[in-house]
Amino acid sequence: GANVPLRAPAVTLSTETPPAASPARAAAPQTFPSPAGSRRPARPSSTPSSLPPLSLPHSQRDPGNSDADGHAALLEDGGDEAAEGSWADRSPLHEAASQGRLLSLKTLLSQGYNVDTLTIDQVTPLHEACLGDHVGCARILLEAGANVNATTIDGVTPLFNACSRGSAACAELLLEYGAKAQWESCLPSPTHEAASRGHSECLEVLISSGIDIDQDLPHLGTPLYVACVSQQIHCIRKLLYAGANVQKGKHLETPLHAAAQHSSTEIVNLLLEFGADINAKNTDFERPVDLAAPSSLVERVLLLQEATPSSLCQLCRLCIRNYIGRARLHLVPQLQLPTILKNFLQYR
Same domain, 176 and 191: no
Is 328 a member of any domain? yes
Three-state SS across 86-117?
CCCCCCHHHHHHHHCCHHHHHHHHHCCCCCCC
Same domain, 210 and 293: yes
pLDDT over 50 (residue 214):
yes
**For position 82, what pLDDT does the model report?**
37
- pLDDT, average across residues 159-177: 97
Grade residue 271 by pLDDT with cuts at 50, 70 and 90: very high
**For position 274, what pLDDT does the model report?**
95
> Are the C-beta atoms of residues 187 and 220 closer than 8 Å to each other?
no
pLDDT over 70 (residue 118):
yes
Is 21 a member of any domain? no
- pLDDT, average across residues 247-262: 96
pLDDT over 80 (residue 241):
yes
Grade residue 344 by pLDDT with cuts at 50, 70 and 90: very high
Same domain, 219 and 129: no
**For position 169, what pLDDT does the model report?**
97
pLDDT over 70 (residue 232):
yes
Three-state SS across 226-254?
HHHHHCCHHHHHHHHHCCCCCCCCECCEC
Closest CA to 228 of 209, 212, 245, 211: 245
Is 120 a member of any domain? yes
- pLDDT, average across residues 52-63: 35
Same domain, 217 and 167: no
- Tally of domains within the chain: 3
Q: What percent of the chain has pLDDT over 70?
A: 75
Grade residue 52 by pLDDT with cuts at 50, 70 and 90: very low
**Of 123, 151, 180, which one is at a domain's C-terminal end?**
180
List the Cα angle 191/298/221 in 5-degree steps. Answer: 25
pLDDT over 80 (residue 4):
no
Is 29 a member of any domain? no
Grade residue 211 by pLDDT with cuts at 50, 70 and 90: very high
Q: How many CB atoms lie within 10 A of CB 11?
A: 5
Q: What is the mean pLDDT of the chain?
A: 80
Is 72 a member of any domain? no
Closest CA to 153 of 121, 190, 175: 121
pLDDT over 80 (residue 213):
yes
Same domain, 186 and 299: yes
pLDDT over 80 (residue 83):
no
Same domain, 137 and 238: no
**For position 99, what pLDDT does the model report?**
95
Same domain, 214 and 249: yes
- pLDDT, average across residues 135-143: 98
> Are the C-beta atoms of residues 207 and 242 closer than 8 Å to each other?
yes
**Of 162, 180, 198, which one is at a domain's C-terminal end?**
180
**Of 180, 202, 221, which one is at a domain's C-terminal end?**
180
pLDDT over 60 (residue 278):
yes
CATH code (residue 319): 1.10.750
Grade residue 50 by pLDDT with cuts at 50, 70 and 90: very low
pLDDT over 80 (residue 329):
yes
Q: Which domain covers residue 347, as residue numbers?
A: 312-348
Same domain, 131 and 199: no
Same domain, 130 and 231: no
pLDDT over 80 (residue 88):
no
Question: Which positions ≥6 away from 84 have C-beta within 8 Å?
Answer: 23, 24
**For position 170, what pLDDT does the model report?**
98
Is 37 a member of any domain? no
Same domain, 229 and 328: no
Among 28-37, 95-104, 229-238, 291-300, which is the least confidently predicted range?
28-37
- pLDDT, average across residues 235-264: 95
Grade residue 326 by pLDDT with cuts at 50, 70 and 90: confident
Grade residue 63 by pLDDT with cuts at 50, 70 and 90: very low
CATH code (residue 237): 1.25.40.20
Same domain, 299 and 316: no
**For position 330, what pLDDT does the model report?**
87
**For position 186, what pLDDT does the model report?**
77
DSSP-H helix ranges across the chain: 68-76, 92-99, 102-110, 125-131, 135-143, 158-165, 168-176, 190-197, 200-208, 223-230, 233-241, 255-261, 265-273, 288-291, 297-307, 312-324, 339-345
Same domain, 186 and 290: yes
